[in-house]
Structure 1
Amino acid sequence: MAQITASMVSELRAKTGAGMMDCKKALTETGGDIETAIDYLRKKGLSAAAKKAGRVAAEGMVTAAGQGRIGAIAEVNAETDFVAKNTAFQAFSAGVAEAVIDHAPKDLESLMAVAFPGTGRTVAEEQTHQIATIGENINVRRFARFAVDAGVVTSYVHAGGKIGVLVELATAKEDDERVLTLARQLAMHVAAANPQFLDRQEVPAEVVDREKEIMRVKAKESGKPDHLVEKILDGQINKFFGEVCLLEQAYVIDPDHKVTKVVEALAKEIGAPVKLTRFARFQLGEGIEKKEDDFASEVASLVK
């Protein structure tokens, strides 16, 4: 049997919000596998892990660039939250997004090799320059770039760079102010509602199967008879899609209507097809573990 350490219990607790003893039991029951333990806790109704995008731990900012038919967002990380207020760091982050617009890199490696605006250096060289100037480690983590032949791409940055969003609407009436308004509102919706997929066709089969299994176990443990469990699952999985799929979410500005109905209503209003084709949402530091100092242990080691 795998040894269950305090750090494993602490990690599981941070990811699920479950109690310490529940986390220890879950790890014991699952042989120390964190992901399986998360499922174990969810089946017992002890975890809200499915609604978490990941621990937000890294500092820095998300920036945006572009307008009209093209847009980009980029996340640049740093060691402390102070650096996000540094004008040199802000200018570097904005320059990274501009480089994405200008050069359309296919991946992060390609981005680091292109020219950084106005410096004669590459993005990688400018990053090294800023590390030396600011005195703190800086890392270009990821980016997204949308370009549409007919339509609009809108960006939205929330809370000074904590969340960045891109939304793409395909339509021939790209200059219609009603289209631009809805695109901006949808970008704010994505920032607030945090969808994981555009529609249910994008949800991987293994994700759906995992959710169904968790729902099935919880339904059976609640005493529901077997002949009702599958009917209950149908309703619950539809509710799941309504939570994670953008087009099926309740529109934050008008919760009585789903996003897909709002887009359809706009198309009818302007007399031309409108399609919400894709979106991207970056939350600063999501999925990155930040080292937490154990001051008690540090003091103890100094005493020794």
Structure 2
Amino acid sequence: MANITAAVVKELREITAAGMLDCKNALVENDGNMDAAIDYLRKKGLSKAAKKSDRIAAEGLVSSYIHGGRIGVLIEVNSETDFVAKNEEFQAFVKDLAMQVAAQNPKYIRPEDVPAEVLEKEKEILKAQALNEGKPEKIVDKMVEGRIKKYYDENCLICQSFIKNPDITIQDLLNEKIAKIGENLIIRRFTRYEVGEGIEKKVENFAEEVAKQINM
């Protein structure tokens, strides 16, 4: 059985805003696995983020970020009230998301946003790769599912590690803000532009540049 420390319980509480006892029970039930404990609390309806998820969020903010005149991002994040949209912490959160998109170049917001045909094609490629590696066919499907999770982690914004704190995901960050601000918040859409995109040119790691600037 995993050692459930007070610090881990506190961290889960900060992410979900659920009660301390509920957080401890969730960690015990899931052998200390933080992600599984978060899902457990959501399913139980004990996470504040889960309780607020069905509330209409029609206000919000469109924010922009431009990196060196070469990468530009527009992102819309919705809140329930105009009051929250004017809140400095909310505005900083939206700016962080814009910088995240600039640095990590996600293609989608959530796993469910990935088109079915794109997902199927990716699975076919991953399956072929696994078979070419000589993996037994009976375990290939499980390997593909594991690699699809990695695909989500790289290509879906909410699954990505937060560039300012790689120990949490954007979904964790969103849950923290929902709990702290007290309103449902929704990452609605984003657009990312990069100079010369689609044109053959010298490879430059703009994402690394953005990440360095953020962590200065």
The residue aligned with 1:266 is 177
Tell me whether 1:209 sits opposite 2:120 in the alignment: yes
The residue aligned with 2:67 is 158
Alignment RMSD (CA, Å): 1.5
Q: Which letter maps to 1:224?
A: K
How does 1:1-304 map onto structure 2 within 5 Å? 149-159=58-68, 161-171=69-79, 172=81, 173-289=84-200
Q: Cα gap change, 1:149/1:228 in structure 2, threshold over 3 Å: closer, same or farther?
A: closer
Distance 1:259 1:225 in 2: 35
CA-CA distance at 1:166 after TM superposition = 0.9
State the structure with more CA Rg.
Answer: 1
Q: Deviations over 1:60-85 (max 9, x none)?
A: xxxxxxxxxxxxxxxxxxxxxxxxxx
Unpaired runs of 5+ residues, structure 1, are 1-147, 291-304
Distance 1:264 1:168 in 2: 17
Q: Which letter maps to 1:156?
A: Y
The structure with higher relative contact order (CA 8 Å, sep 6+) is 2
TM-score under structure 2 normalisation?
0.63
Distance 2:167 2:76 in 1: 23
Moved more, 281-290 or 183-192: 281-290
Distance 1:287 1:207 in 2: 19
Q: Which letter maps to 1:238?
A: K
Q: Report the structure, 1 or 2, having the larger helix content.
A: 2
Distance 1:149 1:221 in 2: 49
Identity of aligned residues (%): 39
* Count, aligned residues: 142
CA-CA distance at 1:288 after TM superposition = 2.9
Q: Which letter maps to 1:153?
A: V
Runs of 4+ in 1 over 4 A off after TM superposition: none
Unpaired runs of 5+ residues, structure 2, are 1-56, 202-216
Q: Cα gap change, 1:182/1:230 in structure 2, threshold over 3 Å: closer, same or farther?
A: same
